[in-house]
Amino acid sequence: MRPLDVLSAELSEVLPGYEDRRGQQAMAEAVDRALRTERHLLVEAGTGTGKTLAYLVPAILSNRKVVISTATHALQEQILMKDLPVVTQLLGRLGVPVRAAAMKGLSNYVCRRRLSEALGENPTDGSLLRIESWAKESESGDRAELSTLRETDPAWGSVLSSTDTRIGATCTYYESCFVTRMRREAEDAQIVVVNHHLFFADLALRNGPRGEYASALPPYDAVIFDEAHQLESVATDFFGARVTQTRCENLARDAERALVAEQGPLGSNSRDKLLFDMTGEAAKRFFAALGGARSGVDRRALLATDYDEAVVGAEGRLATCLKALTALGLSSKTEGMMQVARRASELRDTLERIRKAAEGTEESAWIEVKDRAVSIGMSPVELGPLLRSALFDRVSSVILTSATLSTSIAGEPSFHYVRGRLGVPEAADECVVPSPFAFETHALLYTPRDLPPPSDPAFEAAAVPRIRELIDITKGGAFVLTTSVRAMRGFAEALRREPSGHTILVQGESPKHVLLDRFRADGNAVLVATMSFWEGVDVPGHALRLVIMDKIPFAVPTDPVLLARSRRIEAEGGNPFTELSLPQAAITLKQGFGRLIRNQDDVGIVAILDRRLMAMGYGRVLLGSLPPARRATKLPEVRAFWDRNAPPAAVP
C-alpha cells in the first residue's frame, strides 16, 4: 500500500473539504522511499504542506519502529491529540492498526522511591501528602495530571524522576515505576512521539559512560525530526555539560535522605550530617565566587582559565566534599547510597571536564548568569562529527523536516549549511516542497530604507513611530518581535505610553499560552515578544495580520560557543560570517516570517525595520531565503496593499 494512494484517495473521506496537496504527496513519497530503502532524507516543506500527515502515514505503513521527535511539548501534544487520531481513522478504514505512544522527559514523572524517602523525612508535609494521594490513583504519574499542586511548589523538585536519580532494574520500585510503565508502552508501540530534548538527552546518555543502562527510549529503526532546524541548538546542550548550585545541593539533600532511609534519623552533629551541610555550603560559596564578577549581567561569557584565589579555594572545598560523598556512598550497599556515590563521582568529573574544556579548543567552556542563578558548563565546538557517529552512522534512516531547513545560494534553496552543522552524510536525499500559499498576492514584505541602522542609538526612538504607523494601517492584530529583552521592554513601554486603543500584551507578563489565547480572542491586540515567539506559534486567521521584526536576528557575537565555532572556521580558512552567522540568521528570519500566513485565506504584512537588508550585500541572501511576497520600501505602498487586499475583519 503506497502512502500516496492513501493520502489522495482516502483522506477526503476523513477530513471534509480536504483537497489534494501535491506537496504533501511528494513529501510522503520521499519519506516512504527513505524508510523503505534505509536512507537519510532532508525535507523542507513550506507552511501549509501538511507535513505531519506526510510523514506519519508512510511511517506507520513502513512497519518499522519509528521515533517522531518534535520541538516542544505543545507540538508533541498536537501530534498525539490532533494528527494521530486522523491517521488512525484513515488507516483503520483500510484495516491498518496504529500503535502509538508518547514519552516525556523524566522530570515530568514522580519517582516512587524519592517520594517514599521524602515522606520518611517529612511525613506531615502537605504537598508531599497530596502528591502521595495522587500517585496512588494515577495511571501515568505525569505531573500534568496533578492539578492540586502549585506549578512552583518546591516539593515536586524533591520527588521527580531524573537521570541523576534513576537507579534502574535494581530499584525496589522498578516494577511499579511510572517511567518503567511509560517505557514499556513505548516498547510495545510502533510509533513513539517524543520531543527533541528527550531524544538528545537519551542519545547523549547512550554515548556516555553508562550507555544503554541510562537510556530512556526503547530501540528504534528510524527517526523523523520535525522542526529539525532546532536540532543543533538542542543537541549542543545535551552533548555538553552543565553544573549548577542546585544540582550540588540536590545531591547533598538526596544523600542525607538516602542515609536516613538506611540508618534512621541523623544527629545534628553527626559526621555525615556535617558532610551534607558542608557540601551545600561549598556549592553556594563556589557559585557565589564565580558569579561575583558578573553581577547584573544576564548572558553567557567565556569561562576564565585562571580562577582567582577565592574561586580556586571554593572549588577545592566542593571537590573534597564530593570525594567524601563518593566514599560514603560506596561504603553502603543500599541502592540509594550507591547512586549517591555515582552522582558525586560524575559531578566531580564534570567539574574537571569543564575546567579542561576552558584550556582546550575542542570544547567551549562558559559561565552563565540567568535570573541571578549562576551555572558553568561546556559545549562541543563541532557538533557534526558527534552526530555523524552517534546518530547517522547508527540509525538506518534519519529524516529531517522543517519549513525552514534550507538557505539561499545563488537564488536556489540549499541544504549545505544544515548538512555541515549536523554532520548529515553526503549521500542523504533531498526534497524541497514549496508552500501552497499564494504569498505573491496575500503577503507584503516591507523593508524601509529611511530608519537609522540598529547599531545607532537613535534606532529605537525612530522605530517606535514607524511601528505605530504600521499598527494603525492594519488596526492591530500585530506581533512585534524583537531580538533582545531590552528592546522588547522599550517598545512595549513606548506603545503603552501613548494608548492607541489596542490591547498591548508583553511576553513574561503571563504564561505564553495565556498570552496567545488573549491575543486570539481580542482580534486586534498587539503582542510584544522576543525570540520564543519567532517560531512554534500558530495564529491562523485575521487575529494576526502584521508581523514586525526590529532587526536581523544575528546571534549574539560574544556568545562563547559562537566565538569558538567562528575561530574554528577561521582556522580552517573559512569565513565565519557567511558560513555560520548569516545562514543562522536566514533560518531564524524565515521562521519569523512564517508566523504570518497560516492558511489559504490569510492576508498580511511582514515588516523588517533593519535597513541592512537593503543596504548591505548580504541582504540579498536573507531576502532570497524568504517566501516570494510582494515588496515595499515606503509606507504609502504598504497602506495601498492593505486597502486593496485586506479581508473583512473576523466576526466574533
Print the SS3 string covering 20-65: CCHHHHHHHHHHHHHHHHCCCEEEEECCCCCHHHHHHHHHHHCCCC
If pLDDT is split at 50, 70 and 90, which confidence band does 121 have?
A: confident
Instruction: Give exposure, 233-270, as e/b (b: 16+ Cβ within 10 Å).
Output: ebbbbbbbbbbbbebbbbbbbbbbbbbbbeeeeeeeee
For residue 625, being part of any structural domain is answered with yes
Residues 466, 494: Cα–Cα separation, whole Å = 12
First and final C-alpha spacing in the chain: 44
Residue 629: predicted pLDDT:
94
* Among 304, 343, 292, CA closest to 322: 343
Same domain, 351 and 461: no
For residue 650, being part of any structural domain is answered with no
CB 111 within 8 A of CB 160: yes
3-state class (DSSP) for residue 117 = helix
For residue 457, being part of any structural domain is answered with yes
Question: Out of 502-506, 607-611, 644-648, which region has the weakest mean confidence (pLDDT)?
Answer: 644-648
Same domain, 558 and 612: yes
Q: Considering only the C-alpha atoms of the chain, give the largest distance between any 2 of them, rounded to a whole number of Å.
A: 80
If pLDDT is split at 50, 70 and 90, which confidence band does 303 have?
A: confident
In sequence order, the 6+-apart residues with CB closer than 8 A to the CB of 321 are 252, 275, 278, 279, 282
Residue 650: predicted pLDDT:
41
- Percent of the chain residues past pLDDT 70, beyond the cut: 94
Question: Out of 166-170, 481-485, 546-550, which region has the weakest mean confidence (pLDDT)?
Answer: 166-170
* Among 67, 338, 96, CA closest to 224: 67
pLDDT over 80 at 87, yes or no: yes
Residue 265: predicted pLDDT:
84
pLDDT over 80 at 19, yes or no: no
For residue 602, being part of any structural domain is answered with yes
What's the mean pLDDT in 427-436? 94
Residues 197, 203: Cα–Cα separation, whole Å = 10
Q: Give the domain CATH number at 326.
A: 1.10.275
Residue 42: predicted pLDDT:
98
Residues 139, 147: Cα–Cα separation, whole Å = 15
- C-alpha 340: how far from chain center: 30
Same domain, 205 and 174: no
Residue 517 domain boundaries: 439-645
Residues 367, 387: Cα–Cα separation, whole Å = 25
pLDDT over 80 at 591, yes or no: yes
* Among 422, 429, 447, CA closest to 583: 422
Choose between 487 and 649: higher pLDDT. Answer: 487
Residues 652, 649: Cα–Cα separation, whole Å = 9
Residue 351: predicted pLDDT:
93
What's the mean pLDDT in 511-530? 91
- Grid coordinates belonging to 273: 550530617
Residues 282, 278: Cα–Cα separation, whole Å = 6
Q: What are phi and psi of 42, to 5 degrees?
A: -110, 125
Q: Of 349, 365, 380, which closes a domain?
A: 380
pTM greater than 0.75 = yes
Q: Give the domain CATH number at 614.
A: 3.40.50.300
Residues 486, 504: Cα–Cα separation, whole Å = 17
The rounded mean pLDDT for the chain is: 89
Question: Out of 50-64, 90-104, 199-213, which region has the weakest mean confidence (pLDDT)?
Answer: 199-213
Residues 434, 436, 440: CA angle, nearest 5 degrees:
90
Same domain, 264 and 209: no
Same domain, 89 and 144: no
For residue 651, being part of any structural domain is answered with no
Residue 294: predicted pLDDT:
56
What's the mean pLDDT in 251-258? 90
Distances (CA, A) of 121 to 143, 274, 278, 588: 22, 17, 19, 48
* Among 534, 477, 540, CA closest to 507: 534
Strand order of the β-sheet with 241-244 is 241-244, 373-380, 363-370, 300-302
pLDDT over 90 at 95, yes or no: no
- The letter for the amino acid at 151 is E
If pLDDT is split at 50, 70 and 90, which confidence band does 651 have?
A: very low
For residue 536, being part of any structural domain is answered with yes
Number of folded domains that form the chain = 4
What's the mean pLDDT in 441-459? 95
Residue 242's H or E segment, with its range, is: strand 241-244
Q: How does pLDDT run across 410-419, given as a tens digit for each residue?
A: 778 899 999 9
Q: Of 336, 364, 380, which closes a domain?
A: 380
Same domain, 420 and 463: no
For residue 608, being part of any structural domain is answered with yes
Residues 378, 379, 380: CA angle, nearest 5 degrees:
130
CB 533 within 8 A of CB 513: no
pLDDT over 90 at 122, yes or no: no
Q: Of 350, 365, 380, which closes a domain?
A: 380
- Grid coordinates belonging to 304: 576564565
* Among 222, 196, 203, 299, CA closest to 535: 196
Residue 652: predicted pLDDT:
37
CB 224 within 8 A of CB 399: yes
CB 448 within 8 A of CB 517: no
Q: What are phi and psi of 45, to 5 degrees?
A: -120, 110
For residue 652, being part of any structural domain is answered with no
* Among 628, 536, 534, CA closest to 588: 534
Same domain, 410 and 428: yes
Same domain, 223 and 78: yes
Kindly report the three-state secondary structure assignment for every residue of 170-209. CCCCCCCCHHHHHHHHHHHCCEEEEEHHHHHHHHHHHCCC
If pLDDT is split at 50, 70 and 90, which confidence band does 511 have?
A: confident
What's the mean pLDDT in 441-466? 95
What's the mean pLDDT in 545-562? 93
Same domain, 71 and 135: no
Same domain, 258 and 391: no
SS3 content of the chain, % helix, strand, coil (to 5): 50, 15, 35
Residue 147: predicted pLDDT:
79
Residue 215: predicted pLDDT:
66
Residue 304: predicted pLDDT:
80
Residue 230: predicted pLDDT:
93
Question: Out of 53-57, 114-118, 644-648, which region has the weakest mean confidence (pLDDT)?
Answer: 644-648
- Percent of the chain residues past pLDDT 90, beyond the cut: 62
Same domain, 375 and 402: no
DSSP state, residue 80: I
- The letter for the amino acid at 108 is N
Same domain, 78 and 222: yes
Q: How, if at all, do strands 546-549 and 604-608 pair?
A: parallel
- Grid coordinates belonging to 165: 536519580
- C-alpha 429: how far from chain center: 26
CB 407 within 8 A of CB 61: no
pLDDT over 60 at 210, yes or no: no
pLDDT over 90 at 536, yes or no: no
Residues 166, 453: Cα–Cα separation, whole Å = 52
CB 392 within 8 A of CB 40: yes
What's the mean pLDDT in 39-57? 93
Residues 120, 169: Cα–Cα separation, whole Å = 23
Q: How does pLDDT run across 132-179, given as a tens digit for each residue?
A: 999 999 988 988 888 788 877 889 988 999 877 887 788 889 999 999
Residues 436, 564: Cα–Cα separation, whole Å = 40
